[in-house]
């Protein structure tokens, strides 16, 4: 069996030797759209994280039996075409829940605690020269008793809610599907959540209901001093709106996902004046060592189950 891994660089230093027990393996760190067809044309199994597999490509791959998406989201594969052509498609769910929850709090504490400022004030010796034993120029607030709003109360959202509750936060949520009726936490409409919450975190999928759900007008209603974090999908928050509001109002944003990845060099997010209010990470919330190890194990399991 011929197996092709198209974007192995996204797995980092994770051990991929388990694939070798399944057949002949070709591993590519990165694959451009122009290279994809030639690399998968003779494959029986294709493993992709974010490389796009189109209907036209699948039509040219007579040996292709299985596409393994090394992620939860499946929008990079034409699922309708795969079904028509008899090609099985499998994804992996639930492998990175703990990793994303942890990164949510990492981003929050970095922004709330002004970590960038306080690290630099010591390392630049400004603190040493101050003659004062402390520095209270950048005040931070406690999470306890703050109102925490979660947009998307799926598995990750519920995990964030549990930890937020342990910190003493008062949790509420907005269901983007309209179908969630979790009784453990207060359900509110989006407007109420935005206007009343001190901390807002997004853990929702990108679809027709969530695209640009937080645009300029919506974000402008957030409380002064609020913190908004997007660990769902790029495109849920309008990035142009974020870049504008950061310099207009005292709202802090943490973004781990972007509408186009990697982030364009022309993005207005790279040119804001109040950089201290904007913390961005390169779509890494899912990438703990443990999560990537589990991901590869489950991809291999998906292949074994389809043999």
Which residues lie across from 27 on neighbouring strands?
Answer: 5
Residue 146, SS3 per DSSP = coil
292 is an active site residue: no
233 is an active site residue: yes
Please tell me the distance from the alpha carbon of residue 21 to that of residue 2, in angstroms, as a whole number. 11
Of 103, 203, 283, 292, catalytic: 283
Tokens of 132: 């004062």
Nearest Cα residue to 198 out of 106, 279, 111: 111
Of 24, 261, 290, 305, catalytic: 261
E-strand ranges in the chain read 2-5, 24-27, 45-48, 66-69, 88-90, 147-151, 170-174, 186-187, 199-202, 227-230, 252-255, 278-280
Of 103, 233, 277, 292, catalytic: 233
224 is an active site residue: no
Query: Are the beta carbons of 47 and 23 closer than 8 angstroms?
Result: no
CB atoms within 10 A of CB 131: 6
Query: Are the beta carbons of 288 and 295 closer than 8 angstroms?
Result: no
List the catalytic residues.
233, 261, 283
């Amino acid at each position: 069996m011929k197996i092709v891994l198209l974007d192995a660089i996204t797995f980092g230093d994770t051990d991929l030797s388990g694939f070798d027990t399944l057949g002949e393996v070709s591993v590519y760190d990165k694959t451009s759209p122009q290279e994809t067809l030639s690399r998968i044309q003779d494959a029986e199994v294709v493993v992709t994280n974010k490389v796009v597999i189109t209907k036209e490509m699948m039509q040219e791959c007579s040996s292709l039996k299985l596409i393994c998406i090394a992620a939860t989201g499946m929008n990079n594969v034409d699922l309708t075409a795969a079904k028509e052509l008899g090609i099985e498609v499998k994804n992996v769910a639930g492998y990175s829940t703990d990793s994303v929850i942890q990164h949510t709090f990492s981003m929050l504490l970095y922004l709330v605690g002004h970590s960038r400022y306080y690290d630099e004030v010591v390392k630049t010796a400004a603190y040493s020269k101050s003659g004062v034993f402390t520095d209270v120029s950048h005040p931070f607030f406690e999470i306890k008793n703050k109102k925490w709003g979660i947009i998307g109360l799926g598995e990750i959202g519920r995990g964030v809610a549990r930890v937020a509750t342990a910190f003493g936060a008062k949790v509420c949520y907005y269901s983007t599907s309209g179908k969630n009726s979790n009784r453990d936490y207060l359900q509110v409409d989006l407007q109420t959540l935005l206007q009343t919450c001190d901390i807002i975190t997004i853990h929702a999928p990108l679809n027709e209901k969530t695209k640009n759900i937080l645009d300029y007008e919506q974000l402008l209603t957030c409380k002064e001093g609020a913190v908004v974090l997007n660990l769902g999908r790029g495109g849920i928050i309008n990035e142009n709106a974020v870049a504008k509001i950061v310099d207009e109002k005292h709202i802090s944003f943490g973004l781990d996902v972007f509408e186009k990845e990697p982030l364009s060099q022309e993005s207005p997010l790279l040119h804001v004046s109040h950089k201290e209010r904007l913390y961005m990470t390169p779509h890494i919330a899912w990438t703990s060592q443990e999560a990537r190890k589990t991901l590869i194990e489950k991809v291999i399991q998906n292949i074994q189950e389809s043999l």
